[in-house]
Structure 1
Amino acid sequence: MTTARSWWRRGDDNLRAEAQAAKDAAAQAFYELDTAQRDLEISIETIAAVDDSPEARRALGSFRALGERIDQVSAAYIATVDAHDIDRDELDHTAASRARAELTRAKDELVNVKGELERFQSSLTPLLGKAETQLARLAPARERAKQSLLAASNALDAARAAGLKADDLAARLAALAPELTRLNEGASKHGVQQTVQRADEMRREAEAVRAEAERLPERAQEIDKRLVSLRTRVQALGTRAEGVTPVLSELRRGFSAACWQDLQQVPEQAAQAVRQAESALAEARAARDGQRWADATARLATVRALMDDVDGAVGAAGDRLRRLKEVRKDPKAEVEKTRFVIRDAQRLAMQGRTTPEPRHARPLDEAVARLDSALAGLEGRHPDYWAFLTETAAVRETANRVVANIREERAQGR
């Protein structure tokens, strides 16, 4: 037979079990909130390490406010647990009911805050995705930079083993040492974006050093070949320059002063240019022996420019003599060549028209008159054949310019 005392004991046991269940549920909610908070902290740290935008700063402010709310409900939960010893034997009906109610309320608060946290976590998705994308670049960027530094160092060692000093490249590589130190200090100190940028800049500079170091043997060979080639050219052009004087003598004997006066300084100018080229060539050889590759290349460029000038001046004198002889022998050939160009332009100007456009006809008519005047200028005792050749060339240029204008206008539908 069940006594009243037994009935009350069973009731207390049920309330104790319900209070224990409420305590367990609250503990589970506390654990889940703590786990979610830790995950959120990782997300926030990821964003903070990468993003300094106003949106990111607002997110950090919201996280701090949410953290205060989490601390409040967590403290309330802990205080509630400490306030109720459910396992004590003398737990009565009233104490068990109060424990169940307060623990349930603490659990509900924890669950509500966890919901707020999850919603906030969801709102961070765009920022987090952007941050994770940038973080994903960090490790590969650092590794590429270090591999490039190693490759550059190896290339320098190989160049030195081949007898090439490469001091300038070594200095450039050594200048990267402070940057490597900062790179090793990591994104936590310098930020992800700066670290990735630093890694990329180091990689590019190291790759440039490596490429130049690998090319040093080939560059040395190229400079050696150019030294030999330009030495031969300087000697050949020196010989050719000596031949300008006889050409000028023939010009003076056979033609009026106007045909050769502008060439009188060519022999001295050519000789001076050859001397300058020989001096620059010696400087290039000294720079090559000292492995000053940039200096050697610059001096060789100077030699080439001087030789081009000599070549042009010497060639101009010989070409002047040849053309003057040709026009003196048969000036009509030059006239006919020029008339052909004018007539070709006139035919194009009349194509599809009964009268040409004045802007086309006028310069062509003037060209005909200029050609006749140039031919008449040869009738004197000492004709200026060079002025004649210069004028016929200018007439042909005028006709060609009219042709180009006509074709351009027709291409545009005008």
Structure 2
Amino acid sequence: MAAPLVAALLLPAAFAGGGTRRWFGGGRAEGQRAQAQAAKDAAAAAFYELDTAQRDLRISIETIAAVDDSPAARRAISGFEALGRRIDEVSHRYIEAVDAQDLDRVDLDASTASRARVDLTAAKDELKRVKRELDGFGESLGPLLGKAETQLARIAPAVERARQALRGAGGALDSVRASGLTADDLAARLAALAPELTKLNEGAGQHGATETLERAERVAREAEAVRSQAERLPERAAEIDHRLVSLRTRAQALTTRAGQVRPVLSELRRRFTATCWQDLQQVPEQADEAVRQAELKLSEAQKARDAQRWPDATSLLSTVRSLLNATDEAVSAAGDRLQRLNAVQKDPQQEIERTRFAIRDAQRLAMAGRNSPDPRHARPLDDSVARLNRAVATLEGRHPDYWHFLTETEAVRGTVAAVVTRIREERGAGH
């Protein structure tokens, strides 16, 4: 929208009663000339007021346009443009009325001065009428403008937070590098934020308030993450060094323990049936291979740490830990197996009574407050009694399968525990 050329029109003379004039002619012409000049001054004042109001409202519209793309905001912008065209029209008629007559002419007659007064008064009235329309339109923008100003008020602090976060990340990186750590990946992430900072510096006027606010928050968040990771880097390096030493020591100890599995297996083979130890046959070879793999991964982790490839080192150490955990369980299983078989061979009654107690306890719970148990509870408990009796029967004979007996009693206790949990849940829900 073309702004009215108020500078070219509002001459000082317009607000000083026309300046220094020469007055000629009769009294009537002189009076008409004075009235016309007064009408011209009033029209000029109305034009100035309209121009000022339009300029002020344009700032409000630009504020709304910078942050709001809603239908209401678009309607407001369209409405202001329509008003601008209306202002252009009345301003043009005002200019025509001003240019139509030279009120300082020596030979200005009364009728010409009268026509000038009428035309200028009409132009003034039209300017004031459009000014009232503009004022009403401006008042209707209150909610949109308030929302826009609120959002704009958030931009400067958000941009400043982003700048401070970037400075903090840069300082943390400098400190880390001074300690001998390269932190190349963090430096690359920080460098990638430079174009974003440039756009923040260019401002919301160029990139929009919403986009600028989102960019400032994103930059602050990412820079803060870089700073936090940089500050933690020395601790992370020390932690990796500690894990390298710890896992290496654990691998060496596990090698010693794995060597003890073979004598255990030998005793299991000598004293118990094949079903008691067949699943452990491959443990020594598997343990040796797992430890070998762990040591290879430890070597790779050490190289990654030396190259300061922290994610790679961390991942490799996690792999080593998983290998050693699985091997530790397998090696422990052989010793635990022998210990449990020794115990049940010496006194199977202890295992039997333990299982029977669990069943009886569950049966008492199932009968609590009832004349007869719920079949959903009684049936699995009755089945558990029968299953225990069958397991006990396998101990008879020359070569009892103690491992089968132990796995059966353990399974029975698991079934009983599930029934107990179900009963308690149902009664809890009933309360």
* Residue of structure 1 equivalent to 2:302: 285
* Residue 302 of structure 2 corresponds to residue 310 of structure 1: no
The more displaced of 27-36 and 149-158 is 149-158
* Residue 154 of structure 2 corresponds to residue 148 of structure 1: no
CA offsets, 1:163-192, max 9 Å, x none? 111111111122222323333333333222
TM-score using structure 2 length = 0.90
Unaligned runs of 5+ in 2: 1-24
Aligned-residue offset at 1:271: 1.3
Aligned-residue offset at 1:134: 2.4
* Residue of structure 2 equivalent to 1:238: 255
The more displaced of 195-204 and 225-234 is 195-204
Counterparts of 1:35 and 1:180 in 2: how far apart (Å)?
36
* Residue of structure 2 equivalent to 1:105: 122
Unaligned runs of 5+ in 1: 1-7
Counterpart among 252, 259, 262 of residue 279 in structure 2:
262
Counterparts of 2:28 and 2:425 in 1: how far apart (Å)?
108
Aligned-residue offset at 1:82: 2.3
Q: Which runs of structure 2 are paired with 1:163-178 in the superposition (5 Å)?
A: 163-178=180-195
Counterparts of 1:29 and 1:351 in 2: how far apart (Å)?
96
Counterparts of 2:151 and 2:74 in 1: how far apart (Å)?
17
The more displaced of 354-363 and 152-161 is 152-161
Aligned-residue offset at 1:92: 4.3
Aligned-residue offset at 1:274: 1.1
Counterparts of 2:204 and 2:142 in 1: how far apart (Å)?
22
% identical equivalent positions = 69
TM-score using structure 1 length = 0.93
* Residue 396 of structure 2 corresponds to residue 379 of structure 1: yes
One-letter code aligned to 2:52:
T
* Residue of structure 2 equivalent to 1:3: none
* Residue of structure 2 equivalent to 1:137: 154
Counterparts of 2:146 and 2:291 in 1: how far apart (Å)?
68
* Residue of structure 2 equivalent to 1:123: 140
* Residue 192 of structure 2 corresponds to residue 205 of structure 1: no
Aligned-residue offset at 1:395: 0.6
Q: How many residues align?
A: 407
Aligned-residue offset at 1:106: 1.3
Aligned-residue offset at 1:14: 4.9
Q: Which runs of structure 2 are paired with 1:60-99 in the superposition (5 Å)?
A: 60-88=77-105, 90-99=107-116
* Residue of structure 1 equivalent to 2:356: 339
Counterparts of 1:141 and 1:177 in 2: how far apart (Å)?
16
Counterparts of 2:334 and 2:87 in 1: how far apart (Å)?
96
SS, match of residue 136 in structure 1:
helix
Counterparts of 2:196 and 2:168 in 1: how far apart (Å)?
17
CA offsets, 1:234-279, max 9 Å, x none? 1111111111111111111221111111011111111111111111
One-letter code aligned to 1:63:
F
* Residue of structure 2 equivalent to 1:219: 236
SS, match of residue 91 in structure 2:
helix
The more displaced of 191-200 and 272-281 is 191-200
CA offsets, 1:137-162, max 9 Å, x none? 22222222222222212211111111
One-letter code aligned to 1:346:
Q
Counterparts of 2:53 and 2:196 in 1: how far apart (Å)?
38
RMSD over aligned Cα atoms: 1.9
One-letter code aligned to 1:316:
A
* Residue 417 of structure 2 corresponds to residue 400 of structure 1: yes
* Residue 410 of structure 2 corresponds to residue 411 of structure 1: no
CA offsets, 1:99-137, max 9 Å, x none? 332222111101100111111112222222222222222
One-letter code aligned to 2:77:
L
SS, match of residue 379 in structure 1:
coil
One-letter code aligned to 1:132:
E
